């Protein structure tokens, strides 16, 4: 299987999310490894990912939190970005991920080795992380999707809080893409946003419906459709000012960064964009579900001379 870039930059899939296509190998889009300038988004929140694979640094007086380790080759890029901002890579105390796929978690083992950070993972993705993808519900049999296993220090559960140096994140279980996909929320107070006015940050894990996902009668993930629907209910309930996500194209990183560089301090404040994104992803899911449901209801026609089952 290979990843295929989508979202706004790959309209051929019309899903606006990165997806897997039915092919025999894990393929990396150039934008996944192309460097992107590290920068401060707001308050103590920084961008340290590539052009497409997002990674975020939250700086606190007691050490820093890194969200997403990305590809197996990504740690060097992330380290360079962290240090370019003036931080020490070794000051990362907590590593989080959006979900247990190799474009977001394959670099974890290396980062943990280099920083001695503690690894926090949502409960339903722990087994996949500690097996290096070898127990993934969809890609367990695809060696191109495997990555270095990493030990999980703290198992997260839905709604749990992660606190370090005065910053508290909430881990929301938004399963479907994987059983343990996480959306993180926390508040920032940014100069210019009003006296003491909190900015609600939402970092979306992934609402992606991959082409090869079986949404009905899935033997390895029987409640996948229910989980997707629950995810959308959760996402719609979250207050959002600063909209971010595991892929940069979710939240239009390049366009917003250009606005920021032109002096727009509110470039990443985008509640309307968040609402549109969630609605679009929900519609994409329901379309995929209806298509699979209709296919199950339609008897397979056998062409003359054909052998059923071949």
Q: Using N-to-C axis directions, what is the helix angle for 224-237 and 271-297, rounded to 10°? A: 160
Question: What are the contacts of 33-37 at 24+ separation with CB within 8 A?
Answer: 33/71, 33/73, 33/74, 33/77, 35/77, 35/80, 35/81, 36/81, 36/248, 36/253, 36/257, 37/257
Tell me, what's the pLDDT at 162?
A: 98
Give the model's pLDDT for residue 304: 40
Q: Which helix (H) or strand (E) holds 169?
A: strand 167-173
3-state secondary structure (DSSP) of residue 19: strand
Could you list the pLDDT tens digit for every one of the 310 residues in the chain? 333 333 333 332 333 333 333 333 367 899 999 999 999 999 999 999 999 999 999 999 999 999 999 999 999 999 999 999 999 999 999 999 999 999 999 999 999 999 999 999 999 999 999 999 999 999 999 999 999 999 999 999 999 999 999 999 999 999 999 999 999 999 997 644 445 678 999 999 999 999 999 999 999 999 999 999 999 999 999 999 999 999 999 999 999 999 999 999 999 999 999 999 999 999 999 999 999 999 987 654 444 433 322 2
**Inter-axis angle of helices 75-84 and 108-115, to 10 degrees?**
50
Longest dimension (CA), the chain: 76
Question: Of 252, 216, 242, nearest to 51 (Cα)?
Answer: 252
* The pLDDT of residue 28: 86
Cα 277–chain centre separation: 14
Task: State residue 7's pLDDT score.
Answer: 33
Contact (CB, 8 A) for 74 and 54: no
H helical segments located in 106-246: 108-115, 123-130, 224-237
Counting Cα atoms < 13 Å in the Cβ hemisphere of 67 gives 30
CATH class of 33-213+221-292: alpha beta
Contact 8, 52 (CB under 8 A): no
Q: Do 285 and 209 contact (CB within 8 A), yes or no?
A: yes
Closest-CA residue to 149 (of 132, 164, 163): 132
Which letter, b or e, does each residue of 153-179 get, where b requires 16 or more Cβ atoms within 10 Å of its Cβ? eeebebebebebeebebbbbbbbbbbb
Q: Could you tell me the residue ranges of all domains in the chain?
A: 33-213+221-292
């Amino acid at each position: 299987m290979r990843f295929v870039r989508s979202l706004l930059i790959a309209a051929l899939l019309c899903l606006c999310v990165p997806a897997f296509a039915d092919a025999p190998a894990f393929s990396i889009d150039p934008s996944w490894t192309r460097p992107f300038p590290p920068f401060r988004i707001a308050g103590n929140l920084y961008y340290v990912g590539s052009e497409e694979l997002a990674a975020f640094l939250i700086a606190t007086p007691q050490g820093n939190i890194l969200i997403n380790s990305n590809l197996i080759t990504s740690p060097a890029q992330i380290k360079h970005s962290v240090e370019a901002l003036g931080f020490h890579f070794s000051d990362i105390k907590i590593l989080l991920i959006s979900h247990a796929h190799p474009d977001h978690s394959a670099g974890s083992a290396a980062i943990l080795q280099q920083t001695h950070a503690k690894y926090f993972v949502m409960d339903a993705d722990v087994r996949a992380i500690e097996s290096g993808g070898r127990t993934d519900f969809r890609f367990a049999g695809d060696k191109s999707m495997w990555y270095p296993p990493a030990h999980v220090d703290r198992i997260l559960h839905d709604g749990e809080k992660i606190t370090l140096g005065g910053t508290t994140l909430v881990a929301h279980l938004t399963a479907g893409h994987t059983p343990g996909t996480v959306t993180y929320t926390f508040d920032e107070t940014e100069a210019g946003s009003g006296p003491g006015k909190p900015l609600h940050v939402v970092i979306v894990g992934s609402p992606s419906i991959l082409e090869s996902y079986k949404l009905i009668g899935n033997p390895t993930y029987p409640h996948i459709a229910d989980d997707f629907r629950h995810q959308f209910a959760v996402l719609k309930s979250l207050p959002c000012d600063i909209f971010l996500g595991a892929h940069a194209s979710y939240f239009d990183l390049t366009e917003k960064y250009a606005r920021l560089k032109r002096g727009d301090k509110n470039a990443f404040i985008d509640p309307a964009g968040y609402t549109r994104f969630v609605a679009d992803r929900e519609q994409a899911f329901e379309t995929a579900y209806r298509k699979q449901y209709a296919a199950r209801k339609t008897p397979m026609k056998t062409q003359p001379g054909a052998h059923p089952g071949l």
